Amino acid sequence: MIYIADPNPWLALYAQPLQARTTPPTADLQDFLSDYARSQDLANPVTIDTHAEWQAMLAQALASLPDSLLNILGKSVLGIFFARGIGASGLTDMVALGDGSTNIGFVVVIDSDAFQHASANHWASWKEQSAFAAHPGVQIDVKIADPANDQRLQALRFLLLHEFGHVLATMTDICPKEWSFPLPKLAGHFSKLSWQTTGDKLIRPEQNFPHREKISFYRQPAIHASQAIDLYRDLARTAFPTLYASMDVQEDFAECFATYVHTQLLGQPYTVQLSVDNQLVLTSDDFWASPRASEKRRYMYNLLQSLEHNNAGHTFQGLAPFLRMSLNGADLRSHGQSLLVQANQDQDNAILWMNLATVFLCLKMRDMGLAIQEQALSLQRLYIRPANCRPPKFRLLMIMTPGDLSENTPIDCLLENSPVELLYYYASVEQPLPSPMPEHDAVMVALSDSQANRALLLAVQASLLDHARPVINPPHLLPNVNRDQLSELLQGIAGLDMPRTHRLTRSQVVTRLSMQRPTETTEQDALPTLPLIIRPVGSQAGNDLARITQATELADYLKQVQSTSFFVSRFVDYSSQDGQFRKYRIAMLRGQPFICHMAISSDWMVHYVNAGMYDSADKRAEEGAFMQNFASFATRHQAALAAIYQRLQLDYLCIDCAETKDGKLLVFEIDHIMAVHAMDSASLFPFKAGQIGKLQQAFEQYLYALQPQPLLESA
């Protein structure tokens, strides 16, 4: 505990952004660190380190963390400071008045000496090795970053997560009474998962293992490196994610929080490897994907849901966090019920209503979702999804339309946790642009070019004619992606096959398909022969899409689908030699292709979510190899892809496509409203985050290039 006489200089820190709270306002912290050095028998004094390098790195490390976490930390962490000579990587403690009557917040102190290591993996390995007396030939390596991201920044972020775990622990059942703090209780009953809840919270017998009580990091090690193999094998039979976690309940909580956020939310690796005489003898398992983690996984998920719940009334979430929950099997319904309770208690909170509307739409409760969305829009039509830094590096104004999730470009799923602030404006024909116009760097027209949106698009187009900022995907180009217009635009391109799409009324489907004779039509008007593809005009995601192979099937189809107009095109058998169908989603940014995913299915109508990609390791391995070698695919179809961009001229779009048996690029659909993300489990799809990261980085750089550059001052 850090006792202070005057709280005012410390409380003033709360007025600053969390990343700016890096300078202690009084000598109290230095006095505490000096006492700490004496109590730990450290050879050298501990001194505050205010080097600007650490402050800049801190801002970067915090920028990638969830807003909901930063929100609660901003209310409880007085500052994050750097010091030299702590003898460990960091520490967290409480600041209280000298009489002990009032706790005012936490301080996190990071040892800058620990971050002299060249990379994140070097730091993590050094920390792990400190628990063992060295032995020739025994090497312990810890991987917390992929090679492309193996920088000290990643180590700092991991350590911060551990220390933030200590802060959050004070809001649970393991909180010491003297550390109580006036913040909402976020979770409880962590102790019983691995520890006895009476007395000194001793470890549960089934969680114990030989030599555990000897584990000590950073100090004189009591365990020989030759014992490491047995120790890690014993650890793998417990519910502890790391050796550090097994020391006591406080470290268990902090390590669980750090590794969960690091691997499950941020998609980063955590692996321990042991080598003897340069031969790999042990690799740790994926703890959070293992059965032994089930109870703690549920606890950590609920903890983070509590954070989101605490944050939901203040921050517009967009689609991304709710889509992530849905993809990972979260209890979205319970979350929606919780938001509904809050919204009914705060009925003028438009942000709460809009977040709730998105949850209901994700649950496919369309009527309820749209009704709640209408309630939100009656209160306000402009919503801001914050960037991960302040101030944001770019402000993108999104022109949206009210409606279902498939009505607008879900760009927040691509730009999740980015330095780009997204301003969502739900336009109307009467007011196609917000008034007053918020500060922004560019406009992106995100609404779809559906029949229902035609008048709105014309109004937006007229309003943007003399707009001073760049416009991404201008309205007059969006009709190019309509199925029938698109198929006309893409005819005659070498190496590309897009079956001509015919728009027919219901009666035309009956008469022209059943009575057509080749001599009665021109080649352009000729309708496809069986087999053919049919779908209602306006349908998305394969709804009522069917392959018709004989006349009786067409009659049955028309009995079941009561649409008044349909799109009809010829069917192309694009199956591979093994009989499987492979469909690719490619994003195009100013004509440059990026792979988003590949789905493999025995069914010609391929959708990623039901293609068995989550169940088949072989399919995932093939997808990973394809994504890794996408450059060869892009080179093979370079001319066709270039022609698509040349004819459509949209800055950003997505293509669902395949390869025909004769090697052409087969285009199914092109649109700007398809979802692109890397939210699938990192343990199942370790290759996705890096590939989508390339697109995200390219998109951000594209945005920054739109900003006017300041004029250089003359000498």
What is the C-alpha separation between 48 and 56, in angstroms, rounded?
Answer: 16
Percentage of the chain modeled with pLDDT above 70: 93
For residue 155, is it within any domain?
no
- Read off the amino acid at residue 626: F
Question: Residue 481's pLDDT band (boundaries 50, 70, 90)?
Answer: very high
More confident residue, 103 or 498: 498
Contact in structure between 247 and 256 (CB atoms under 8 Å): no
Number of domains in the chain: 5
What is the C-alpha separation between 180 and 549, in angstroms, rounded?
Answer: 70
My answer on whether 337 and 436 are in the same domain is yes
What is the C-alpha separation between 508 and 52, in angstroms, rounded?
Answer: 72
pLDDT at 120 over 70: yes
My answer on whether 333 and 207 are in the same domain is no
Instruction: Give the structural domain span for 192.
Output: 120-150+184-249+257-311
Question: Residue 514's pLDDT band (boundaries 50, 70, 90)?
Answer: low
pLDDT at 520 over 50: no
pLDDT at 518 over 50: no
My answer on whether 58 and 100 are in the same domain is yes
Residue that finishes a domain, picked among 97, 116, 135 = 116
Q: At what angle do helices 152-169 and 52-63 cross, to 10 degrees?
A: 70
pLDDT at 525 over 60: no
What is the C-alpha separation between 435 and 596, in angstroms, rounded?
Answer: 36
pLDDT value at residue 712: 46
What pLDDT, in 10s, does the model give residues 306-317?
787 666 667 898
User: Average pLDDT in the 560-569 region?
Assistant: 88
For residue 325, is it within any domain?
yes
Residue that finishes a domain, picked among 61, 93, 116 = 116
In sign, the C-alpha dihedral spanning 497, 640, 638, 634 is negative
pLDDT value at residue 75: 81
More confident residue, 197 or 427: 427
User: Average pLDDT in the 614-628 region?
Assistant: 95
Residue 442 half-sphere exposure, CB side, CA atoms within 13 Å?
23
What is the C-alpha separation between 434 and 627, in angstroms, rounded?
Answer: 40
My answer on whether 112 and 128 are in the same domain is no
Which DSSP category does 263 fall into? I
Tokens of 521: 């039509």
Tokens of 412: 């927040």
More confident residue, 217 or 180: 217
For residue 173, is it within any domain?
no
Burial level of 580, CB count in 10 A (0-12/13-18/19+)?
Answer: middle
Task: Spell out the residues 6+ positions from residue 221 whose beta carbon is closer than 8 angstroms to its own.
Answer: 130, 131, 132, 133
What pLDDT, in 10s, does the model give residues 340-390?
877 877 789 999 999 999 999 999 999 999 999 999 999 999 999 988 766
Alpha helix stretches (DSSP H) within 3-88: 8-11, 28-39, 52-63, 67-74
pLDDT value at residue 521: 45
Burial level of 670, CB count in 10 A (0-12/13-18/19+)?
Answer: buried
pLDDT at 604 over 50: yes
What is the C-alpha separation between 419 and 545, in angstroms, rounded?
Answer: 39
pLDDT value at residue 179: 59
Q: Is residue 591 left, alpha or beta, with left meaning phi > 0 and alpha meaning psi from -120 to 50?
A: left
CB-based burial, 351-376: b 16+ in 10 Å, e otherwise? bbbbbbbbbbbbbeeeebbbebbebb
For residue 161, is it within any domain?
no
Task: Spell out the residues 6+ positions from residue 503 whose beta carbon is closer than 8 angstroms to its own.
Answer: 483, 484, 537, 565, 566, 567
pTM: 0.63
For residue 348, is it within any domain?
yes
My answer on whether 614 and 561 are in the same domain is no
User: Average pLDDT in the 620-641 region?
Assistant: 96
pLDDT value at residue 101: 64
Question: Residue 714's pLDDT band (boundaries 50, 70, 90)?
Answer: very low
pLDDT value at residue 110: 94
Single out the residue of 48, 1, 58 nearest to residue 27, CA to CA: 48
Contact in structure between 112 and 50 (CB atoms under 8 Å): no
User: Average pLDDT in the 61-90 region?
Assistant: 89
My answer on whether 144 and 267 are in the same domain is yes
pLDDT value at residue 80: 96
More confident residue, 370 or 57: 370
My answer on whether 453 and 517 are in the same domain is no
Contact in structure between 314 and 302 (CB atoms under 8 Å): no
Tokens of 557: 């189809």
Task: Spell out the residues 6+ positions from residue 564 whose beta carbon is closer than 8 angstroms to its own.
Answer: 505, 506
What is the C-alpha separation between 154 and 63, in angstroms, rounded?
Answer: 12
DSSP secondary structure letters along 622-636: HHHHHHHTHHHHHHH
My answer on whether 140 and 216 are in the same domain is yes
What is the C-alpha separation between 377 and 316, in angstroms, rounded?
Answer: 13
Strand partners, 426: 400
Residue that finishes a domain, picked among 551, 570, 589 = 570
Per-residue CA distances from 671 to 96, 530, 656, 692 (Å): 57, 27, 9, 18
pLDDT value at residue 104: 85
User: Average pLDDT in the 497-516 region?
Assistant: 80
For residue 172, is it within any domain?
no
What is the C-alpha separation between 342 and 354, in angstroms, rounded?
Answer: 12
What pLDDT, in 10s, does the model give residues 412-438?
999 987 889 999 999 999 999 999 999
For residue 486, is it within any domain?
no
My answer on whether 321 and 466 are in the same domain is yes
Identify the weakest region by mean pLDDT among 223-227, 523-527, 539-543, 658-662. 523-527
Question: Residue 715's pLDDT band (boundaries 50, 70, 90)?
Answer: very low
My answer on whether 82 and 229 are in the same domain is no
Task: Spell out the residues 6+ positions from residue 3 whose beta carbon is closer than 8 angstroms to its own.
Answer: 28, 96, 97, 98, 100
**Residue 88 in 3-state DSSP?**
coil
DSSP secondary structure letters along 277-293: TTEEEEE---GGGSGGG
More confident residue, 672 or 682: 672
Single out the residue of 425, 391, 393 nearest to residue 707, CA to CA: 393
The CATH number assigned to the domain holding 540 equals: 3.30.1490.20
Q: At what angle do helices 294-311 and 67-74 cross, to 10 degrees?
A: 70
Identify the weakest region by mean pLDDT among 118-122, 388-392, 457-461. 388-392
My answer on whether 373 and 239 are in the same domain is no
Alpha helix stretches (DSSP H) within 346-415: 350-362, 366-379, 411-414
Cα 145 versus chain centre, distance = 17
Residue 610: how many other CB atoms lie within 10 Å: 13
My answer on whether 139 and 39 are in the same domain is no
pLDDT at 632 over 60: yes
pLDDT at 260 over 70: yes
pLDDT value at residue 177: 62
pLDDT value at residue 176: 64
For residue 174, is it within any domain?
no
Tokens of 638: 């370079």
